[in-house]
Amino acid sequence: MIDREVADGIHPENIFVCGFSQGGALTLASVLLYPKKLGGGAVFSGWVPFSSSVTERISPEARKTPFLWSHGMADKVVLFEAGQAGPPFLQSAGVNCEFKAYPDLGHSLSQEELLYLESWIKSRLNASQEKDG
């Protein structure tokens, strides 16, 4: 899917992959195992679906892709502790990850999360355009 976007002329640093719950786990695998730096990855109420051995397969370019990880503290489906373990996993692999906790949020997305995601993506798109400019 990412390769198709790149083939259509989208610069990899303008591609953001986001996923909720199991989609967050898929986001991690897709972004970390892609050979190039992307604009970013965002995980909502997700968890790390693989062992630390996968970090050996992350390319130096992929390690430059930033992540946003959000999790509701009232999540009863994917426990907050499981989500909270994700950013340290990424950071131990040399991947930049920002973590946001939402105290009253269960296993769902909030308007606040989506608005923050929007500003997070826009700031990275602007930085990418200034660098290319």
Condensed to tens digits (0 to 9), the pLDDT of residues 64-102 reads: 999 999 999 999 999 999 999 999 999 999 999 999 999
Query: Which residues form the catalytic set?
Result: 21, 75, 107
Q: CA dihedral defined by 117, 123, 128, 130, rounded to 10 degrees?
A: 160
pLDDT of residue 133: 56
For the whole model, what pTM was predicted?
0.91
CATH number, position 86: 3.40.50.1820
**How many separate domains does the chain show?**
1
Assign residue 45 a region: left if phi > 0, alpha if psi is -120 to 50, beta otherwise? Answer: left
pLDDT of residue 132: 60
Angstrom distance (rounded) from CA 126 to CA 31: 20
| Domain boundaries, position 88 | 2-132
pLDDT of residue 131: 67
Question: Which residue numbers in the chain have pLDDT < 70?
Answer: 128-133
